[in-house]
């Protein structure tokens, strides 16, 4: 994948060389965010970046390259904290190590931030594929993330078009006829994870996967459902700690 490449038509051609043969009605395509960022020209040469004082301070504290930290700050809505080598950032309502700025599979001396608007990227790929092939597809833009206390990365959907990202089972009942309270299925995240297994993360050169036969109705919807920090058990906890801390240092001051 190179800057300016038209991903949709590359995918339509590439699939002919695979056992999937051709894109079919109802297929869900999972595309790696790095491939999209690269095609969209979202590549930053680190030596062209001038780190400001905040970036230098954070780089020093967490043992990171100041230019990389500056890229991360440019991409973040908020830096929540850090551990050596990583900043934990909020971006578009999601918690993101290093704000998704990634050096892996970027050209030498460069990093690739996430696509500027992953939902728009997903929708564009969907529309071009549908124009080229005449079939209806879903498209997921997938990133790969670590989760709390889990070893290794699993797939996460950061952009989506054509299928719902979350299937809501609230209002349905469990095996014993009892209403389910909180059961929502992270459909797009689960599909991104499934694709991760065949796409890999190193030099596999497989930036996309086709999911077939799920029977999910493809529509014109797009967008990722987001959550409020207060509804998130992890962020909710962190915010509680900070509140308690600030009220305790307030008591300190008085």
Residues 77-136 that bind a copy of itself (CB under 8 A): 80-83, 85-86, 88, 90, 93-95, 97, 103-108
Q: Exposure string (b/e) for 139-156, b if CB count within 10 Å is 16 or more?
A: bbbbbbbeeeeeeeebbb
* 2 makes contact with a copy of itself (CB under 8 A): no
Q: Is 254 in the site for a copy of itself (CB under 8 A)?
A: no
Burial zone of 14 (CB within 10 Å; 0-12 exposed, 13-18 middle, 19+ buried): middle
Rank residues 18 and 173 by Cβ distance to a copy of itself and give the closer one: 173
Residue 134 C-beta: closest distance to a copy of itself, Å: 27
Rule CB under 8 A: say whether 41 interacts with a copy of itself: no
The β-bridge partners of 159 are 141
Residues 207-236 that bind a copy of itself (CB under 8 A): 214, 225-227, 229-230, 232-236
Nearer to a copy of itself, 131 or 227 (CB): 227
**62 near a copy of itself, judged by CB under 8 A:** no
4 vs 108 by CB, closer to a copy of itself: 108
Indicate whether 14 belongs to the interface with a copy of itself (CB under 8 A).
no
Q: Is 147 in the site for a copy of itself (CB under 8 A)?
A: yes
CA Rg value for the chain: 20
Smaller CB separation from a copy of itself, 30 or 124? 30
| 9 binds a copy of itself, rule: CB under 8 A | no
- CA torsion, points 31, 166, 86, 55, in degrees to nearest 10? 90
8 Å CB contact between 201 and 139: no
Q: How far is the CB of 60 from a copy of itself (least distance, A)?
A: 16
Establish if 146 lies at the interface with a copy of itself (CB under 8 A).
Answer: yes
Q: Are 136 and 26 spatial neighbours (Cβ–Cβ below 8 Å)?
A: yes
Pick from 2, 50, 148, 254: which binds a copy of itself (CB under 8 A)?
148
Binding residue count for a copy of itself, defined by CB under 8 A: 84
Q: How far is the CB of 105 from a copy of itself (least distance, A)?
A: 5
Could you give the string, one character per residue 151-190, with x where binding to a copy of itself holds by CB under 8 A and - elsewhere?
A: xxxxxx--------xxx-x--xxxxxxx-xxxxxxxx-xx
Is 43 an interacting residue with respect to a copy of itself (CB under 8 A)?
no
């Amino acid at each position: 994948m190179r800057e300016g490449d038209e991903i949709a038509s590359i995918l339509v051609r590439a699939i002919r060389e695979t056992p999937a043969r051709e894109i079919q009605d109802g297929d869900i395509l999972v595309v790696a965010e790095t491939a999209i960022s690269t095609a969209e020209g979202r590549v930053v040469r680190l030596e062209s970046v001038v780190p400001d004082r905040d970036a230098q301070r954070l780089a020093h504290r967490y043992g990171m390259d100041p230019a990389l930290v500056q890229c991360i700050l440019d991409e973040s809505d908020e830096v929540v904290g850090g551990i050596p080598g990583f900043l934990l950032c909020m971006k578009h309502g999601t918690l993101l190590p290093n704000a998704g700025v990634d050096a892996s599979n970027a050209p030498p001396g460069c990093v690739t931030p996430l696509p500027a608007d992953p939902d728009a990227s997903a929708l564009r790929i969907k529309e071009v594929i549908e124009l080229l092939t005449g079939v209806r597809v879903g498209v997921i833009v997938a990133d790969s993330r670590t989760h709390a206390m889990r070893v290794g990365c699993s797939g996460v959907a950061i952009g989506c078009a054509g299928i719902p990202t979350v299937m809501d089972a609230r209002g349905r009942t469990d095996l014993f006829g009892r209403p389910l309270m909180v059961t929502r299925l992270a459909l797009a995240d689960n599909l991104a994870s499934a694709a991760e297994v065949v796409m890999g993360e190193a030099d596999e050169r497989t930036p996309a996967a086709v999911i077939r036969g799920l029977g999910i109705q493809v529509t014109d919807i797009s967008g990722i459902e987001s959550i409020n920090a207060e509804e998130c058990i992890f962020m909710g906890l962190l915010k509680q700690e900070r509140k308690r801390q600030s009220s305790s240092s307030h008591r300190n001051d008085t």
